[in-house]
Amino acid sequence: MTIEELRERGLIILECISGSRAYGLNTPTSDTDIKGVFLLPKEEYYGLNYVPQVNNETNDIVFYEFGRFMELLSVNNPNILELLNTPEESIIYKHPYLSEIQSELILSKLCNKTFGKFALAQIKKAKGLKKKIVNPIDKERKGILSFCFVNYEQGAIPLLKFLEIKGWKQKDCGLAKIPHMKGLYGLYYGENLGFKGIIKTEESSEVALSSIPKGIINEGVLYFNKDGFSSYCKDYREYWDWVEKRNEERYENTKSHGKNYDAKNMMHVFRLLDMAIEIGKEQKVNVKRPNRDFLLGIKSGNFEYDDLLKMANEKQEEMEMAFENSSLPENPSLEVINQLAFKIRDRFYKNI
């Protein structure tokens, strides 16, 4: 099912402008995100063709089936609570039946965890981007040889340097395991002795082992930092996957303000924490943000990263205290939400 089909078949029961425009944080370059709810016809809902969500390729237009919408409300999902509480000026269409779904029937202290979890996820994303920007990884991928070291004189040196000093080729080297010593290998050398080399190919993920003839002199001990190599491969893969898929506009914005963190992610950290504090204290969801200048200041890179982390920690403590003192229930009443979901769906189907 596509968004076009939802529209053609008249299945949409809620459609709202979401994201920065609903928050009041839009700028001239902001996209228009759309979120909403649709209702499957009775035969598809009861049959085998249940569709929980429909979105476009870029995920800036997302519609949830009514059952999925109610399910996510039952776990106090921040995105869905925002959708339920979209400001009037951002609502494109809302079926009257949906007016029965009120936040006071759904909000609970569970928001402390869900909003906090979303905020921490945004901090993690911001930290991840900072790491990638500050520590770029060369396009040329390192191989195992760069993670091997050999004892030399009073210490150890990189294998590649050792081979250079000796004038040896890695393909003429042979390795043998040293029992009970993880990552350590006896190193041998000899041309035309049938040694397999230290690696078989540049793409190898393990060192090669050779049969060592009796009488061959041991030239030293080689250490292969396998954990370091595995960690590097993971970082390399993640970094270049990020480069390929990154939002260039946001990346250029990050470079332009020179703070080396994803300022948009950090802006959403404070938006989420403030909303959670308001839920704990006021028992309502305020989607449109009153502190637009402060939040856009974060997005513009007007604050140092460490200062933002300190302020975020203080906000988290305020959030914890707000929910500790709140009269909200510990969890939403699943019975109430289930009855509400049944009542509204039944009414829709009876009037189609």
C-alpha distances (whole Å) from 336 to each of 66, 332, 342 are 16, 8, 10
With a cut of 70, say whether residue 323 has pLDDT above it.
yes
pLDDT, position 244: 76
With a cut of 80, say whether residue 102 has pLDDT above it.
yes
How would residue 119 be classed by pLDDT, with cut points 50, 70 and 90?
confident
Whether residues 321 and 184 fall in one domain: no
Neighbours of 133 (CB within 10 A): 15
How would residue 117 be classed by pLDDT, with cut points 50, 70 and 90?
confident
What DSSP designation does 216 have? P
**Contact at 8 Å (CB) between 175 and 183?**
no
Q: Which residues pair with 177 in a beta bridge?
A: 185
Whether residues 98 and 54 fall in one domain: yes
Contacts of 251 (CB under 8 A, 6+ apart): none
Task: Report the pLDDT averaged over residues 12-32.
Answer: 95
How would residue 351 be classed by pLDDT, with cut points 50, 70 and 90?
confident
Percent of the chain with pLDDT over 70: 92
Q: What type of residue is 240?
A: W
Q: Is residue 189 part of a domain?
A: yes
With a cut of 80, say whether residue 327 has pLDDT above it.
yes
Whether residues 128 and 270 fall in one domain: yes
pLDDT, position 258: 53
C-alpha distances (whole Å) from 233 to each of 125, 156, 227, 238, 328 are 20, 23, 10, 9, 47
pTM over 0.85, yes/no = no
**Contact at 8 Å (CB) between 178 and 184?**
yes
Percent of the chain with pLDDT over 90: 76
pLDDT, position 121: 78
Task: Report the pLDDT averaged over residues 306-320.
Answer: 92
What DSSP designation does 41 have? -
What DSSP designation does 318 have? H
How would residue 263 be classed by pLDDT, with cut points 50, 70 and 90?
confident
Q: Is residue 235 part of a domain?
A: no
Whether residues 97 and 118 fall in one domain: no
Q: Is residue 242 part of a domain?
A: no
Task: Residue 274: give the domain boundaries.
Answer: 108-136+247-329
Whether residues 162 and 66 fall in one domain: no
Q: Is residue 2 part of a domain?
A: yes
In total, how many domains does the chain have?
Answer: 3
Q: Is residue 159 part of a domain?
A: yes
Highest mean pLDDT among 38-42, 260-264, 265-269: 38-42
Q: Is residue 193 part of a domain?
A: yes
Neighbours of 176 (CB within 10 A): 16
Q: Is residue 35 part of a domain?
A: yes
Whether residues 323 and 342 fall in one domain: no
How would residue 260 be classed by pLDDT, with cut points 50, 70 and 90?
low
CA 157 to chain centre: 38
